[in-house]
Structures are given as structure tokens and as C-alpha cells.
Amino acid sequence: MRTLTEQLTQYAAYHRDRRNIATHFVGIPMIVLALAVLLSRPAFVAGSVPFALSPAWVLFVAATLYYLVLDVPLGLMMAVVSVVCVACGQWLAAQSTLVWLTSGIGLFLIGWVFQFVGHVAYEHRKPAFVDDLIGLLIGPLFVLAEALFGFGWRPALREAIEARVGATRINADRTAAHR
């Protein structure tokens, strides 16, 4: 299994333009929340569990376990994000079917629009998941790590990533993205 540095480096290689990263700061949370909304139905109560279980919980717990294996501190932070997303998802799933589907599908579609605009208009490169499906799981972790890097968190990790793929930039034109 690849390390956290290897996973983030591979994902970062597809995301060096700051404007593309900015679109991911909007698009990825929308997609993650959409999954929490859409997968919060059906839900069932199991024994003494104090909350309703759903496919959303299965997905988010599995993802969080993977994140914890990669890196405990970052995995714990993602666990908090996951709990908030699933709680919001459950609330929206408890609304009318129209509200549930409109919010879930709307968030999902708009989130992907942001993703593809970032890659087409700014990065001029296909999304990471096209070459490696694990990119779908690493995307949320990348966004959280990038946000934390902005606060000075784990500079050695950021430097290790940038040593392999270069610093972020703003591409002047298509040619700059293909060097």
C-alpha cells in the first residue's frame, strides 16, 4: 500500500494550478456531501446504536479507516469531517423525497461541474481518478491537507510533495501545463 506522501503526491501531480485547486475546494466538499445525502436512505436502527445506520455510514467509516491507516492525525480530522457530512446527509435524507433527491443530485452535479471546469479551464489535464480510481478517495484528503498546509501544518509533508511535483502555480496558457 502506498504511503500518505505517495498518495498525496500522485494526486497533487494532477493539481498544480491554484485555480484548479480552488475549484476542488468547492467541488469536492459538494460531492462528498452529496454522497452523504444520497446514501443516507435507506436507514435503519440496529440494536443499541444511538443513530440510524445507512449506506452513507458504511462508506464514510470504510473511507475513514483507510485514512487512519495512511495517517492517524489526518484520518482523525477526516473522521470529524465525515461525521459532519453524514449528520447533514441524514438530516436532508429525512426531508421529503423531493428535497432529498434535489439536494443530493444537485450537490453532486454542481460539484462535478466545478471539478471539470478546474481541469479543463485551468489545469488542462484529466482528473487523477481517470488513471487511478483511488483518486476518488484521495481527493477529499487532498483538499483537507491543502487547507491545513495553508495554516502551516506539516511543512515537511508539503515540501516532500512539492519536491516531487513542483510548487503550485497559475498556468499562463495550455503550453505551461504540458512542460
Enumerate the domain spans of the chain: 4-42+50-177
Cell, residue 56: 452513507
What's the pLDDT at 176?
Answer: 45
Q: What is the pTM of this model?
A: 0.89
Give the containing element (helix H, strand E) for 23.
helix 18-38
Q: How confident is the model at residue 177 (pLDDT cuts 50, 70, 90)?
A: very low
Give the mean model confidence (pLDDT) for residues 150-168: 94
| Mean pLDDT of the residues in the chain | 91
Q: Is 74 buried (19+), middle (13-18) or exposed (0-12) by CB count in 10 A?
A: buried
Q: State which amino acid sits at residue 122.
A: Y
Return the C-alpha cell found at 104: 443530493
Q: In the prediction, which pLDDT does 174 show?
A: 46
Lowest model confidence (mean pLDDT) among 68-72, 81-85, 105-109, 171-175: 171-175
Among 29, 94, 83, 88, residue whose Cα is nearest residue 60: 83
Cα 4 to chain centroid distance, Å, stands at 15
